[in-house]
Structure 1
Amino acid sequence: MPERLNIDAPLWDQSTFVGRFKHFLWVTDPRTCIEKEDVLDNAKVLVEQYRKGTEPPGTDLEQIIYAKKLYESAFHPDSGEKQNVFGRMSFQVPGGMAITGAMLQWYRTIPAVIFWQWVNQSFNALVNYTNRNAQSPVSTTQLGVAYVSATASAMITAIGCKTYWQKRASPFVQRYVPFAAVAAANFVNIPLMRQTEILYGIDVEDEKGRKVCQSKYAAVKGITQVIFSRVVMCAPGMLILPIIMERLEKYKWMQQIKPLHGPIQVMFVGCFLVFMVPTACALFPQKCSITTTTLARLEPAEFEKLQKVCGADIPPRVYFNKGL
């Protein structure tokens, strides 16, 4: 009998960047966004059946692997709930390319900057909420405060940069206003959308998947890595594309097709994001870890909980889902 697939483990080695890149290239495939709801639901059922060893007779490995792909792209790893399609990481390419391309194209006036920063932060807020650590519930009030604060920070940064650079910098430098605003807003949006994790900690498990305690330090570490990954995700498109467009717009044929500059930038951003979404997600392991010595030093009360659960057999490291 052929060896059964571990349905809950990635297909590639997650201890290496290459393995994580292959995994996220596979699971963030934008084509999964257009699968019908019943197909996604059936994929979840098949995964659950396979986990119990009760899948329908004749089900081949290829069907199992595709069901696993759909399940991991559309359902939250903590709660198992279906995610909003616009908040899934698999929607980052189509959603991100449209919004980022628009921000890079329409940056010349303050109303345009304000509008597109609002659209972008609304999208980011949805993505951050969808991909949070689902073990830490967030109230409606907290979500509202986080959304308003992050959107305001992006707009203030964008308007400030635009106003300051408008008289002091060249039109080329002004093309970087959107990136400055997006990078600054990430440092506000993500921590605020996941503030419950920072305030109360997140579940931490041993190698066997047994919950041993909750850790605020783990939450801070995971969120910090997510912020860095998000900035890296958008950086190449928003830093390199202005150089490309500055050169292209000098050609006469480009000047004759100005209405197409927006769609052209959208397509360019899409080319960047196809590779940058899995690259950014793969920078750090999804199953992040901290040493128990660090836990004992920074959170002694939680370390005592760990000792009660594990007894004398204290593991060297404990693990948690950092979110995306």
Structure 2
Amino acid sequence: MMMNERLDLDKPLWNQNTFVGRWKYFAWMTDFRTCVKPESELIAAKKLCEQYRIGKEPVNTTTEQIIYAKKLYESAFHPDTGDLQNVFGRMSFQVPGGMAITGAMLQFYRTTQAVVFWQWVNQSFNALVNYTNRNANSPVTTNQLGVAYVSATVAAMITAIGCKSYWEKHASPLMTRYVPFAAVAAANCANIPLMRQNEIVNGVDLIDENGRKLTKSKLAAVKGISQVVISRIVMCAPGMLILPPIMEKLEKYAWMQRIKPLHAPIQIMMCGISLTFMVPTACALFPQNCSIKATTLQRWEPENYELLMKNCEGSKLPTYLYFNKGL
């Protein structure tokens, strides 16, 4: 089918003002099947997108080819720098990577050594994901990356060991299965704000509907980062909260006792099913382009509000300002 209407490659294919539209976009963009595409195909997709932007794509290129090239490009290249991302740090790798690590954390929770090891593995994976998807407009130094990684790992381990020790003495055996979730939630609360501390200290750029940079805001940074923390916790919550009682029930059956070596693969598979739906769901909870009222700046950040008024001199002051909250 020949193209008769040009696509805007800078805009998502679905309405981002609705949850359903955002879910469809992120399910499309985080498709884990793109992780196995060779580098040559990804580079070719980027080249096709660049050609299409200037109207010089090959003759007989179809709409479907352009849409698929856009999918590969957005799943594999950094949106700010255009650099090819490490495959293990891409959001599209969250399902295969997350299912393996989450399944292992849920299976190997009985000993302190296993809890510590798998929390370290999980935080190492999270650090890679956060670095790969970093905001290039708010660069993070090597020292800041190190502090975020160590702090998140320590927070996860302290929470895991503390919960394990307390719940073993004062709660049912089922509760010890929730140690990994408690640790992951605590680590996310430490890791993401530390990784993006420059945004909190210096503020993020705020733009109007036309994309004009008008001012900065620290409150906007806090709002965006808080939403990302919530999304990351929600992403893993169903698998880590629902699977423990399911496995607790299943492991009592004689047939499950006979296949103990398969317990870990079963949990990993179930985590994969959960994450396949929860990765786009969590990403779609909040709009990517987050908003903040100009009156909020007037009340809490008067210096940034003054800059806004200065940049809007001679034109109408926008009611809402927008910024990218990140993933």
TM-score range, shorter chain: over 0.9
313, 317, 320: which one pairs with 1:314? 317
d(CA) in 1 for partners of 2:73, 2:112: 42
Q: What is the CA deviation profile of residues 7-42 of structure 1, one whole-angstrom value per residue up to 9, with x for unaligned ones? A: 111111110100000000100000011111121112
- TM-score for both structures, normalised by structure 1: 0.97
Q: What is the CA deviation profile of residues 44-81 of structure 1, one whole-angstrom value per residue up to 9, with x for unaligned ones? A: 12212212222222211111100111111112223322
2:124 alignment partner in structure 1: 122
Shift of 1:232: 0.5
98, 109, 112: which one pairs with 1:110? 112
SS of 1:320's equivalent in the other structure is strand
1:7 alignment partner in structure 2: 9
d(CA) in 2 for partners of 1:82, 1:313: 40
1:303 alignment partner in structure 2: 305
Q: In the TM superposition, what are the counterparts of 1:219-238 in structure 2 within 5 Å?
A: 219-238=221-240
Does the 8 A contact of 1:202 with 1:219 survive in 2?
Answer: yes
2:168 alignment partner in structure 1: 166
177, 180, 189: which one pairs with 1:178? 180
Q: What is the CA deviation profile of residues 159-198 of structure 1, one whole-angstrom value per residue up to 9, with x for unaligned ones? A: 0011111122221111001111111111001101111111
Of stretches 301-310 and 44-53 in structure 1, the one that deviates more from structure 2 is 301-310
- TM-score for both structures, normalised by structure 2: 0.96
Does the 8 A contact of 1:135 with 1:202 survive in 2?
Answer: no
d(CA) in 1 for partners of 2:175, 2:311: 56
d(CA) in 1 for partners of 2:100, 2:153: 18
d(CA) in 2 for partners of 1:300, 1:124: 36
d(CA) in 2 for partners of 1:36, 1:319: 36
SS of 1:244's equivalent in the other structure is helix
Of stretches 198-207 and 98-107 in structure 1, the one that deviates more from structure 2 is 198-207
Q: Judging changes above 3 Å, is the alpha-carbon distance between structure 1 residues 82 and 203 closer, same or farther for their aligned structure 2 residues?
A: farther
Shift of 1:205: 1.6
Of stretches 74-83 and 238-247 in structure 1, the one that deviates more from structure 2 is 74-83
d(CA) in 2 for partners of 1:30, 1:278: 11
1:77 alignment partner in structure 2: 79
1:48 alignment partner in structure 2: 50
Residue 146 (str. 1) matches residue 148 (str. 2): yes
1:248 alignment partner in structure 2: 250
Letter in 1 for 2:115: V
d(CA) in 1 for partners of 2:107, 2:218: 40
d(CA) in 2 for partners of 1:255, 1:61: 53
SS of 2:227's equivalent in the other structure is helix
Listed as ranges, the gaps of 5+ residues in structure 2 are: none
Letter in 2 for 1:239: L
Letter in 2 for 1:291: K
246, 264, 269: which one pairs with 1:267? 269
1:202 alignment partner in structure 2: 204
d(CA) in 2 for partners of 1:251, 1:13: 47
Q: Judging changes above 3 Å, is the alpha-carbon distance between structure 1 residues 314 and 48 closer, same or farther for their aligned structure 2 residues?
A: farther
Letter in 2 for 1:12: W
d(CA) in 2 for partners of 1:217, 1:44: 35
SS of 1:92's equivalent in the other structure is helix
SS of 2:292's equivalent in the other structure is strand
Letter in 1 for 2:109: Y
Of stretches 298-307 and 135-144 in structure 1, the one that deviates more from structure 2 is 298-307
d(CA) in 2 for partners of 1:131, 1:284: 17
Letter in 2 for 1:14: Q
d(CA) in 1 for partners of 2:304, 2:80: 21
d(CA) in 1 for partners of 2:37, 2:211: 31
SS of 2:110's equivalent in the other structure is coil
Identity rate of aligned residues, in percent?
72
Of stretches 198-207 and 116-125 in structure 1, the one that deviates more from structure 2 is 198-207
Let me know the Cα RMSD of the aligned residues. 1.3
Residue 26 (str. 1) matches residue 31 (str. 2): no
Residue 87 (str. 1) matches residue 80 (str. 2): no
